[in-house]
Amino acid sequence: DAGITQSPRHKVTETGTPVTLRCHQTENHRYMYWYRQDPGHGLRLIHYSYGVKDTDKGEVSDGYSVSRSKTEDFLLTLESATSSQTSVYFCAISNRDIQGYTFGSGTRLTVV
Amino acid sequence: AQSVTQLDSQVPVFEEAPVELRCNYSSSVSVYLFWYVQYPNQGLQLLLKYLSGSTLVKGINGFEAEFNKSQTSFHLRKPSVHISDTAEYFCAVSDGNTGFQKLVFGTGTRLLVSP
């Protein structure tokens, strides 16, 4: 979607290195989310944000941290990448009116 | 916590045949329900949603879904599928009491449409 972009689209990194994924929105939505998608597991929530500097953990937050210093940017950091974090990562945004999420195109991360 | 079950991981169907993709959720007093579609190498796109009101919800691309509170189900249907409907479909639920959306997704159903 034009209102939400993720970068990079693909990344290969080595075990033990830190990695940061970026989600940028132009919709001025309050809520932002990071999910990971894995075969057989669907999408699982990693972290979410309900405002600038306001974040909380999702169901699979171990090994991940996030930051939101501006409304438009939500960063996901893998502090020390492991092979189990090889996945496709999706960012999503929403506003308060329960209309559903808008998803980014995803980042395919491979940890070797 | 809410949970979603999509019983079928894969559904093969011939073009122009009807299809139903099943979704069941854990019970709650108030829920919002969604179906998303994911085409290969793309993000997820909203197909339809149930927030309140009529239990039959119509979405894009000729899809519809019926909310059944007694069965805690929200099955997705299309009377005649096309090759272009080949994709993965995700059901999602949000607890209507939380005040904002935090969607829980099912594991997905891959719809394979063949000629």
Give the A-side interface with B, CB within 8 Å.
Answer: 1, 31, 33, 35, 40-45, 48, 50, 58, 90, 92, 94, 96, 98-106
- pLDDT score of B27: 72
Q: What is the DSSP letter of B86?
A: -
* Inter-chain touch B102–A45, beta carbons under 8 Å: yes
List own/partner pairs for B66-74 with CB under 8 A and 24 or more apart. B67/B33, B71/B24, B72/B24, B72/B25, B72/B26, B72/B27, B73/B22, B73/B23, B73/B24, B73/B25, B74/B23, B74/B24, B74/B25, B74/B33, B74/B35, B74/B50
Of the candidates A28, A30, A29, A22, the one whose C-alpha atom is nearest the C-alpha of residue A5 is A22
- Give the span between the Cα atoms of A6 and A76, in whole angstroms: 11
* Residue range B1-39, pLDDT digits in tens: 788 999 999 999 999 999 999 999 987 777 889 999 999
pLDDT band for B100, please (50, 70, 90 cuts): low
- Which domains are delineated in chain B? 4-114 (2.60.40.10)
Whether the per-residue pLDDT at A1 is higher than 60: the answer is: no
* Residue range B42-91, pLDDT digits in tens: 889 999 999 888 899 999 999 999 999 999 999 999 999 999 999 999 99
Which of B103, B104, B109 has the most A C-beta neighbours within 10 Å, making it the best mutation to test the interface with A? B103
Tokens encoding B22: 């099943």
Residue A107 structural domain: 4-111
Find the CATH number of the domain harbouring A56.
2.60.40.10
Chain A residue with the nearest C-alpha to that of B7? A40
Which of A25, A31, A37 has the most B C-beta neighbours within 10 Å, making it the best mutation to test the interface with B? A37
Cβ–Cβ under 8 Å, residues A2 and A103:
no
* Residue range A22-53, pLDDT digits in tens: 999 999 999 999 999 998 899 999 999 999 99
Whether the per-residue pLDDT at B112 is higher than 60: the answer is: yes
Number of structural domains, chain A? 1
pLDDT band for B97, please (50, 70, 90 cuts): low
3-state secondary structure (DSSP) of residue A13 = strand
Q: Hey, which residues 7-26 in chain B have their CB within 8 Å of chain A?
A: 9
User: How confident is the model over A74-102, as a mean pLDDT?
Assistant: 90
Q: Hey, which residues 51-110 in chain B have their CB within 8 Å of chain A?
A: 51, 90, 94, 100-108
Whether the per-residue pLDDT at A96 is higher than 90: the answer is: no
